[in-house]
């Protein structure tokens, strides 16, 4: 064991083992982070894909949309001791906002298709694309304004203590700040 070459080989093997172990750990950590990120995205507001809050409110049957909104309100107010009357009032506010925003959603989807046509044309019409961009910014602003109105109206239904509980609950659902 006093052979210097033998010691170097053992050290090299030990180093390779630690390197492989570290790479395995990094792979597990990356896989875990990916799984956590995906689980977080799916947990936020019942997921982002088809059938989720963000992906599933499109051209939905009005009765199904009403049920979805009622479920969302029940979920959002689950831990704040909201009365049935408060839940019903907030659901009504949110249903009205969803109905108001149906036309905006259709305009947005139409503009998206139009922009794809313009971008894949043989000649790019920069002026038309800029006009479309400005229209989309205006549409986004009006949508944002309507959503804020619904949020304010809903917040006014709750007591200050309930609003604080809702804020605390949603803050816990936010991704960690780096």
Question: H helices within 44-83, ranges in order?
Answer: 62-76
Residues ≥6 apart with Cβ < 8 Å to 175 = 40
In this structure, are 78 and 114 located in the same domain?
Answer: yes
Measured between alpha carbons, how far is 52 from 34 in angstroms, rounded to an integer? 20
Most confident region among 21-25, 55-59, 61-65 by mean pLDDT:
61-65
Measured between alpha carbons, how far is 125 from 123 in angstroms, rounded to an integer? 6
Number of domains in the chain: 2
* CB 105, CB 55: distance < 8 Å: no
Instruction: Say how many C-beta atoms besides its own lie within 10 A of residue 149's C-beta.
Output: 14
| Structure confidence by residue, pLDDT tens digits, 61-78 | 888 999 999 999 998 898
Q: Which domain holds residue 26?
A: 4-44
DSSP 79: T
Residue 90 covered by a domain: yes
In this structure, are 65 and 141 located in the same domain?
Answer: yes
Most confident region among 25-29, 36-40, 79-83 by mean pLDDT:
79-83
Residue 50 covered by a domain: no
Residue 39 covered by a domain: yes
CATH number at residue 132: 1.20.120.1490
Measured between alpha carbons, how far is 35 from 80 in angstroms, rounded to an integer? 30
87 pLDDT band (50/70/90 cuts)? very high
* Residue whose C-alpha is closest to residue 158's, from 171, 168, 145, 173: 168
Residue 52 covered by a domain: no
């Amino acid at each position: 064991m006093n052979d210097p070459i033998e010691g170097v080989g053992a050290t090299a093997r030990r180093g390779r083992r630690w390197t492989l172990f570290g790479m395995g750990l990094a792979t597990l950590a990356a896989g875990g982070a990916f799984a956590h990120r995906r689980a977080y995205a799916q947990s936020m507001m019942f997921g982002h894909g088809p059938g989720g809050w963000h992906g599933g409110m499109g051209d939905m049957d009005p009765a199904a949309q009403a049920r979805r909104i009622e479920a969302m309100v029940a979920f959002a107010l689950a831990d704040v001791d909201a009365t049935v009357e408060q839940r019903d009032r907030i659901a009504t506010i949110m249903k009205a906002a969803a109905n108001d925003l149906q036309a905006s959603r259709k305009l947005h989807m139409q503009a998206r298709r139009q922009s794809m046509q313009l971008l894949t044309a043989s000649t790019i019409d920069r002026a038309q694309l800029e006009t479309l961009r400005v229209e989309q910014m205006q549409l986004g602003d009006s949508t944002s304004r309507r959503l804020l109105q619904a949020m304010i109206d809903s917040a006014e239904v709750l007591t200050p203590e309930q609003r604080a509980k809702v804020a605390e609950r949603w803050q816990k659902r936010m991704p960690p700040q780096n």
